[in-house]
Structure 1
């Protein structure tokens, strides 16, 4: 398929080689080129909406992890106070 896009094979030759119709090769080529244009445009305009969603999710999870670590530290210190000094604290 890439050889058709690169101009190394005609659509007819590619269709024969892949044992599919010329229409299929033409459709795949058009979809491939449109996908490339979309990806290049998105690259110029910043991250895609999905990338933005994932970045926001990572930020939320990072914040939640930080909060959980602080709570764990507080609980440990509280438990040490109730049980007396631990053997590992110095």
Structure 2
């Protein structure tokens, strides 16, 4: 579980918008506010992904495109493994599925 942010959403939003508008660089914003560049980069990505709501504490971001693709692949492989297990059990028992392999 992520720890709650000590920076209010309005402050995060102001910083992110100033960086995105080109008013200040990420490094300059980090120095001015005593916040790491990584945090500002994370906030910027959260804002771009989910708008203002992405900066609010406790909001879980959805999976990225890569994560979603990997989850789909895991589901597909799990299904294939289950089918292979059923076929193997049928072959070992000499059931009707075994006849198709001989």
TM bucket, shorter chain:
0.3 to 0.5
With CA pairs under 8 Å and 6+ residues apart, which has the higher RCO, 1 or 2?
A: 2
Q: TM-score, structure 1 length as denominator?
A: 0.45
Q: TM-score, structure 2 length as denominator?
A: 0.41
Larger Rg: 1
